[in-house]
Structure 1
Amino acid sequence: MNWDQIEGKWEQAKGKIKEKWGKLTDDDIAQINGKRDQLAGRIQERYGYTKERAEEEMKDWERDTRW
Structure 2
Amino acid sequence: MDWNRIEGSWKQFSGKAKENWGKLTDDDIAQINGNREQLEGKIQERYGKAKDDVRKEVDDWSSQMN
Q: Normalising to structure 2: TM-score of the pair?
A: 0.96
Equivalents in 2 of 1:10, 1:59: separation in Å?
A: 16
Equivalents in 2 of 1:31, 1:8: separation in Å?
A: 15
Q: Are residue 48 (structure 1) and residue 34 (structure 2) matched?
A: no
Shift of 1:49: 0.4
Equivalents in 2 of 1:65, 1:19: separation in Å?
A: 13
In structure 2, the residue matched to 1:64 is: 64
For residue 53 of structure 1, give the secondary structure of its aligned residue in structure 2: helix
Among the aligned pairs, what percent are the same residue? 59
RMSD over aligned Cα atoms: 0.7
Alignment gaps of 5+ in structure 1: none
Alignment gaps of 5+ in structure 2: none
| Alignment map for 1:34-45 (pairs within 5 Å) | 34-45=34-45
- Per-residue CA deviations over 1:1-57 (Å, capped at 9, x if unaligned) read 111000111110110000100000000011111110000000000001000010000
Between the two proteins, the alignment pairs up a number of residues equal to 66
Q: After the TM superposition, which segments of 4 or more aligned residues of structure 1 sit over 2 Å from their partners? A: none
